[in-house]
Amino acid sequence: MAIQVTARGQGISLESRGYLKNLAIGTSSILTGESQFLNVTRFRWQQMLDVGSNLHAEVWLDTEALAGSFLSSEENAISAAIERRTWLDLDWRIASEYRFVLEQRLFRAFATYYAGKATVTVGRQRIAWGSGFAWNPTDLFNPFNPAAIELDEKSGIDAVHLSVATGDFSHVEAAYAPASAWSASSAAARLVSHVGEYDFSLMGGYFRDDLVVGGDFSGYIGDAGLKGEAALTIPEDGNAYVRLTLTADRSFKGDYYAFVEYYLNGQGTTDKNEYDFRQLLTGSVFNVARDYAAVSVSKAVTPLLAANVYALVNIDDQSALVGPSVTYSLRENMEIGGAVYLFAGKGDTEFGQQKNAYFGYLQIFF
């Protein structure tokens, strides 16, 4: 739905869109082995306002109803105790009963002002840096778990972001994300440019008191895409470490698309006896080993049916997550999908100690 009016010579447009989604998840507790179920019903209302050619603003309001045994689990209690990464508390609970919660949050809430070659964005936004698919060593404003169930749902950060064009294919940008404690704030700058057939960037800054410098590139070798990304982290206390990715992707005949990605996690270890699984439960890290690979193969089976197999492999302890999924378009604005996360490996490995998860959803867009 879009509304357009004119005020004082300026065009003002207001557009509304969003979706209604029901997601059902079944799994077992890592801590107790008990079966768990969670049903999530989410209504997302996106409002987009444009005033002339200089001002753009968006507000994404999520209303979620959660129900199921997972809400009374130890894992949920641990998750609720994790310190939020955003500066502002834009979540509020409307109702809470035994194994039921109704809540709202502002998933996005930002305004962007365009002034010549410069743009300034203020508010809850996503600052997406890096070129990797499963892992992004330089994407530290909005770190993302590659094993998340909703891979397309990427949360934002409360920040001020400035971008200034310096050429047809280059720009510089800077961002600052405050936090309740100064030591938890982040500030960084990035240069983006283009050489030959390749885009590249260089970045540096402080993220929660850690100094990080790095960069990424993306381009093509023949018909295949090639991407790389690396970051050196120098903690305030502790040893410096490197994280890097190397990615190749390509489309094939028969409507196939695939990518493979290697990830070096210098913060991790090759000895599974040194794993700290508490870090995974609290979300302070997403992976505990050093060497990983991600593989994804997708195919458009018909114009309405798509299939995908997504896998994460811990090369060091030979454990893996394998996630086959399918989606089907019931109508132009309605789709249904299902997937399984199958975990393989010995019980003391990163993925082997996790429990299989089964989930399906129905989503209606408007």
pLDDT digits (tens, 9 = 90+) for 191-232: 999 998 899 999 999 998 899 999 999 999 999 999 999 999
Q: Helix, strand, coil proportions of the chain in percent (round to 5)? A: 5, 60, 30
* pLDDT of res. 6: 52
- On whether residue 57 sits in a domain, the answer given is yes
Instruction: Write out pLDDT tens, residues 254-267.
Output: 999 999 999 999 99
- On whether residue 49 sits in a domain, the answer given is yes
* pLDDT of res. 327: 99
- What is the C-alpha separation between 211 and 213, in angstroms, rounded? 7
- On whether residue 316 sits in a domain, the answer given is no
* pLDDT of res. 8: 56
**C-alpha dihedral (268, 270, 275, 281), degrees to nearest 10:** 50
Please state the separation of Cα 347 from the chain's center in Å: 28
- On whether residue 253 sits in a domain, the answer given is no
* pLDDT of res. 261: 99
- On whether residue 244 sits in a domain, the answer given is no
Residues of the chain with confidence (pLDDT) below 70: 1-10
Q: In this structure, which amino acid lies at residue 75?
A: E
Give Dmax over CA atoms of the chain in angstroms: 68
- On whether residue 295 sits in a domain, the answer given is no
- On whether residue 37 sits in a domain, the answer given is yes
Check: CB of residue 57 under 8 Å from CB of residue 48: yes
- On whether residue 54 sits in a domain, the answer given is yes
* pLDDT of res. 7: 54
* pLDDT of res. 281: 73
Q: Is 152 exposed, middle or buried (0-12, 13-18, 19+ CB in 10 A)?
A: exposed
Q: Could you give the number of structural domains in the chain?
A: 1
Domain containing 84: what range? 1-100
DSSP string, 118-140: EEEEEEEE-----S-SS--TT--
Q: In this structure, which amino acid lies at residue 180?
A: S
